[in-house]
Amino acid sequence: MSDGKPKLTRTETTAKRRQQILEAAVRCFLETGYHQTGVRDIATRAGVSLGNLYNHFPGKHDVLVEIAALERQELSPFIDALTQARPPLKLLDSFVKSYAKYLAVPENVILGLEITSEAIRKPDIARLFLDNRNALIAALAKVIERGMSTDDMRRDLDPEGTAQMIVDLIEGSAYRSVLDRVPIRRMRANLQGFITAAVRAE
């Protein structure tokens, strides 16, 4: 008998199963680390057979490639926000606040460190995650360029280099907040103040 629920198409079923496997993989990476996690561990966590998992992902490496694509989706709102028609300093301030909050989620810090350690060993993984980061830096650099053209920001700044340093600073602060168990909101005011003072036109 039908339970009244619409049946999923084959494409929808495949997408749902892939998502289920990805979520299981992330949980395993968070709990035991990327290198300590085997494909069988992911399959068990996802509640699928090993053969079924291989139908969706040839191996653990391919799971990480998919996670890179998902990260790009998560960064899209930050990139989009940087293109808004608002004063550059306000855009920068809002970005620092929201991006620091996002990065300082413990799960994001742990997964970021796991991915970084693998990216150092695997150039293709590094390229995927660097492409994501570079897209964010490019959007931030455009805000800085606009701030320089309107005399809101110092004219001697290197937009791309400054954007890179701002992202580095936010990432470092987020990692420290997790390691020291200090809520990012306690560090955010100093972080925002320091960055604004460094770029604001005198």
pLDDT in tens, 136-184: 999 999 999 999 999 999 999 999 999 999 999 999 888 888 888 877 7
Q: Please say whether the beta carbons of 34 and 110 come within 8 A.
A: no
Cα 195 versus chain centre, distance: 21
Of 58, 81, 103, at which residue does a domain stop? 58
Do 190 and 166 share a domain, yes or no? yes
- Give mean pLDDT, residues 14-24: 90
CATH code of residue 87: 1.10.357.10
Cβ neighbors of 26 (< 8 A, separation 6 or more) are: 67, 111
Q: Which of 10-14, 84-88, 143-147, 168-172 has the lowest mean pLDDT?
A: 10-14
- Give the pLDDT score at 1: 43
Query: What is the domain range of residue 20?
Result: 1-58
Would you put residue 158 in left (φ > 0), alpha (ψ -120 to 50) or beta? beta
Q: Which of 21-30, 56-65, 115-124, 175-184 has the lowest mean pLDDT?
A: 175-184
CA separation for the pair 146, 121 (Å, rounded): 37
CATH code of residue 11: 1.10.10.60
DSSP conformation class of 33: -
